[in-house]
């Protein structure tokens, strides 16, 4: 079952048993500090093992007072001026412990070595095209996400959900080969905050290894930069060497690791935060 999203004043909280957490996705200044108390009460009532927040600098101290720890920091996340913090409170000791610390360190080291390389964005093969997705594409998009992810933090395997996000703040870019969708990613835009989350990357299993994610990321950066977005970031799977290298090669900087943060394909995974000033 997919976690639900609810409003608290002008703030947004995602919570549920799928990710076993409460996630403060958006924090409005007028709701602080009461939204922190609300999230803690919600987590206690539901028995969640983690509370996670993407917090502007103005609310950081309120979280720290409540026993949250800082797991990542993105300079200038909001409007290129105010730092953003990824803060967590663990309500069960086991959730705080990284299961594969050596693997995470090795992947970060491998990604770090690729940051010094000149980026060579691959050109799609003949017959491939890259374009922004429309509502006419949502069935094919949902089908691709179902092929790649057994489960996901958001219901991206639901065409209706994809269409709804297109009406809100998400722009999907896809690569097609002979009109068949083979790779996909999204830019989740926070226009007031002038930032964007680059996310939901999926490549059909038989089409991997061709640099399609790299090409999609490059196209999305060009698009959002032209619309005044100042900071891009991603929350990438810490155990995925390919995705971490993709962002490192694009000039993204490592901001921190969110331990046992997100349920993907049936299990909790740690996530690495990367950011880039556009």
CATH class of 4-96: alpha beta
Residue 118 has pLDDT above 70, yes or no: no
Domain ranges of the chain: 4-96, 101-277
pLDDT tens, residue by residue, 54-113: 999 999 999 999 999 999 999 999 999 999 999 999 999 999 999 999 999 999 999 998
Q: Is the pLDDT of residue 121 over 80?
A: no
Peptide bond into 33 cis (omega under 30): yes
Q: Where are the beta strands (DSSP E) in 153-240?
A: 170-177, 180-190, 195-203, 231-237
CA 275 vs. chain centroid, Å, equals 11
| pLDDT tens for each residue of 248-268 | 999 999 999 999 999 887 889
Measured between alpha carbons, how far is 63 from 32 in angstroms, rounded to an integer?
10
**Does residue 149 contact residue 202 with C-beta atoms inside 8 Å?**
yes
Tokens of 163: 């269409």
CATH 3.40.50.12160 describes domain 101-277: no
């Amino acid at each position: 079952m997919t976690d639900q999203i609810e409003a608290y004043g002008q703030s947004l909280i995602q919570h549920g048993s799928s990710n076993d957490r409460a996630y403060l996705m958006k924090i409005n200044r007028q709701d602080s500090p009461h939204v922190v108390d609300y999230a803690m009460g919600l987590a206690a009532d539901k028995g969640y093992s983690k509370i996670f927040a993407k917090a502007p600098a103005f609310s950081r101290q309120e979280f720290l007072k409540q026993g949250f720890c800082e797991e990542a920091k993105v300079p200038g996340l909001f409007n290129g001026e105010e730092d953003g913090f990824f803060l967590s409170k663990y309500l069960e000791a086991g959730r705080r412990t990284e299961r594969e610390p050596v693997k995470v360190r090795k992947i970060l080291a491998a990604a770090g070595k690729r940051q010094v390389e000149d980026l060579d964005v691959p050109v799609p093969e003949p017959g491939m095209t890259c374009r922004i997705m429309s509502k006419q594409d949502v069935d094919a998009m949902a089908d691709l996400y179902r092929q790649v992810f057994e489960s996901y933090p958001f219901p991206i395997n639901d065409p209706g959900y994809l269409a709804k996000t297109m009406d809100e703040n998400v722009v999907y870019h896809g690569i097609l080969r002979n009109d068949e969708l083979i790779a996909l990613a999204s830019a989740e835009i926070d226009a007031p905050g002038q930032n964007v989350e680059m996310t939901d990357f999926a490549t059909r299993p038989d089409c991997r290894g061709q640099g399609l994610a790299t090409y999609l990321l490059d196209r999305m950066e060009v698009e959002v930069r032209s619309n005044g977005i100042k900071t891009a970031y991603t929350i990438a799977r810490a155990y995925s060497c390919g995705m971490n290298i993709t962002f490192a090669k694009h000039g993204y900087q490592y901001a921190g690791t969110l331990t046992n943060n997100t349920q993907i394909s049936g299990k909790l995974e740690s996530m690495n935060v990367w950011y880039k000033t556009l």
